[in-house]
Amino acid sequence: MVRELECCVVLFIQLFLGEWSSMLVSPPPPVLSPGHHSAQCREELQFTLGYQLFTLGSLHGYCPGNSLSDLRSTYKMEDQEMNFEQAYGSLSETDKTFEPLFIEEEDGDYFEDCLEEIEAALTLPGESMPYSIKCREALQAEFNGLMQQMLAQLDVFDAAHPTTAPLELFSETVNKMDKNGFTKTIEFGETCIPEKEQTVLEVEDNAVGIPVEAKHELSATMEIQKLREVFESCIEEVGQLERRRDELVQELLELEEPMAQELQTVRETLGEEQGLLSKVRLERQSLQEETQKTKRRLFIAVRDCTQRQVQLELQQKEVEQLNQAQEELKAFAVKLTEEIAKIHSDHQSHLQELQKQLNTTQESSKKKNRSYVTQGRRASCDLQQYLQGGIKALEEFYEPRLVSLLKRREATMDALSKAKEQCQELRAKLGPLREEEQMLRLQRTCLEERIQLMERQRRENVEQYRDTVDALEENIRELKTELKIQTKKTEELDMLKNNTAKELFFYREHVDGTCKQESSVMVEKT
């Protein structure tokens, strides 16, 4: 929609410039006809509307390449010299035919509808869709060139044709915003023309011999000059407001630069702190892995040591049991030796008794003695055989047990020596492990102190960052207040623009009414 409206504007300006060039080439008529008279009124209205639309476009930012101060200098209504021969040919040629300087009623209605759509689009630029920057710049350059040509041709036409359509003044009040923001009323016919010009008009009205048409033409030219001055003053005010806006934007950018630098430095310091924190975390992770490995080694060593201790305790218990069995066997052997000694003593006593009996019996009879001797010998032999059998039985019963006990004693002695050697080896290994554990504890304490220091430093940095953030938030609040002030000023500018649009609308209605009245008067005269 916006592109179509822009194309309509460009076509309208080209058509408008073509009609002005045709009017410049054609000679001025001695008497103004009603149709031509209304055509001139319409042309003046079209010029004022086009100029107002251009000012509205500049207010809404549709002239990105030019500021309003440059625009006033480039589009000044006086003392301009332009070369139109390249675009439209020489102005002295009269061979070509040109269209008449008026617009039909249907075309005029369509043109007014287009102008209303353009004005609505310009008053609401936020609703327009974004389009290409190159296309916009090209259209803007073409629009600027066409406006320059139009204004130059208008100056030439004013110099060549001082007579225009009569414009009667009317008294209507329009609210308008002044520079201080207060509303003031503008009365057409009273404030649009200064006091000197009003006195001149009164003198000219009272003068004799001057025709009525010349009076109307003079008043129309003075009205156009007054409108030019009003438009120039509006452009100057808008330029001042735009310069103020640029200054405020520059101040905002200057205020944002240190904030951005501070944010950049804060981000850099945060990045450095995060890098250091990641390094410390990696070191902490590596140390934790090393501590876990050493803990595993210590656990394995302690487990082996406990297993060895358990085996040693079991072997010690077995040795104690063997010692108890050995003591029991020794006691049993002592008991057996005592029994053997007792039996031997009993045998000796029995032998002595038998010897006594033998000695006593020898005296009785030798035969009896011989028989007793044989019987004693037989008894002694039987006793010896009995004792030898008992001793053999005891030896056969206790000898394998003693041998097994001796073997178990030797095995336990060997195992005890091996366990002692292993304990010595484990004690030798336990020394460096204890030293390593002490080193790891020292490293752990150092790392904990370092982590505490880093946490303190991080807290201090966080406090500093919070202070900086608070300061930045205060600056942002101040900038927001300034931005609100600027928005209020822009709203005042929009009010001023709306008042100018209303003034233009009233002017157009007045021109249409005067044109209709003049046409009716001319028809009645004819």
Structural domains in the chain (count):
2
Per-residue model confidence as pLDDT tens digits over 296-350: 888 888 888 888 888 888 888 888 888 888 788 888 878 888 888 888 788 778 7
Which residue is associated with the tokens 């790891």?
440
Q: What gap in Å lies between CA 76 and CA 62, rounded to an integer?
A: 19
Q: What gap in Å lies between CA 215 and CA 166, rounded to an integer?
A: 8
Does the CA dihedral 444-448-451-457 come out positive or negative?
negative
On the question of pLDDT at 382 being above 70, the answer is yes
- Asked whether residue 135 is assigned to any structural domain, the reply reads yes
Per-residue model confidence as pLDDT tens digits over 104-138: 444 445 555 655 655 554 444 444 444 446 656 76
Q: Indicate if 270 and 158 belong to the same structural domain.
A: no
CB 140 within 8 A of CB 71: no
Position 321 scores a pLDDT of: 83
Per-residue model confidence as pLDDT tens digits over 156-194: 766 765 544 333 333 333 343 443 343 343 333 333 334
Position 167 scores a pLDDT of: 36
Q: How far from 433 is each of 6, 298, 299, 402, CA to CA, in Å?
A: 89, 7, 11, 46
Per-residue model confidence as pLDDT tens digits over 470-509: 888 888 888 888 888 988 988 988 898 888 888 888 888 8
Q: Indicate if 269 and 139 belong to the same structural domain.
A: no
- Asked whether residue 330 is assigned to any structural domain, the reply reads yes
Q: Report DSSP letters for 192-224, one per residue.
A: SS-HHHHHHHHHHHH-SS--HHHHHHHHHHHHH
Q: Indicate if 156 and 34 belong to the same structural domain.
A: yes
Q: What gap in Å lies between CA 58 and CA 62, rounded to an integer?
A: 5
Q: What gap in Å lies between CA 82 and CA 93, rounded to an integer?
A: 17
Position 125 scores a pLDDT of: 41
- Asked whether residue 395 is assigned to any structural domain, the reply reads yes
- Among 113, 132, 165, residue at a domain's last position: 165
Q: How far from 313 is each of 327, 368, 412, CA to CA, in Å?
A: 21, 71, 12
Binned at pLDDT 50, 70 and 90, residue 154 comes out as: low
Q: Which residues contact 311 (CB under 8 A, 6 or more apart)?
A: 419
Q: Which residue has the higher pLDDT, 360 or 404?
A: 404
- Asked whether residue 372 is assigned to any structural domain, the reply reads yes
Position 124 scores a pLDDT of: 43
Position 56 scores a pLDDT of: 44
Token pair belonging to 138: 């090209």
Q: Indicate if 17 and 125 belong to the same structural domain.
A: yes
- Asked whether residue 185 is assigned to any structural domain, the reply reads no
pTM of the full structure: 0.25
> Could you give the angle at the alpha carbon of 506 between the alpha carbons of 500 and 508, nearest 5°?
100
Token pair belonging to 8: 């309509």
Mean residue pLDDT across the chain = 68
Full residue range of the structural domain in which residue 56 is found: 1-165
- Asked whether residue 492 is assigned to any structural domain, the reply reads no
Helix and strand tally (H, E) in the chain?
9, 2
CB 521 within 8 A of CB 202: no
Q: Indicate if 30 and 155 belong to the same structural domain.
A: yes
- Among 469, 502, 520, residue at a domain's last position: 469
- Asked whether residue 196 is assigned to any structural domain, the reply reads no
Q: What gap in Å lies between CA 79 and CA 92, rounded to an integer?
A: 21
Per-residue model confidence as pLDDT tens digits over 402-423: 888 888 888 888 888 888 888 8
Position 128 scores a pLDDT of: 40
Position 141 scores a pLDDT of: 73
Q: Report DSSP letters for 157-194, one per residue.
A: HHHH------------EEEEE-TTS-EEEEETTTTSS-
Q: What gap in Å lies between CA 325 and CA 312, rounded to an integer?
A: 20
Position 390 scores a pLDDT of: 75
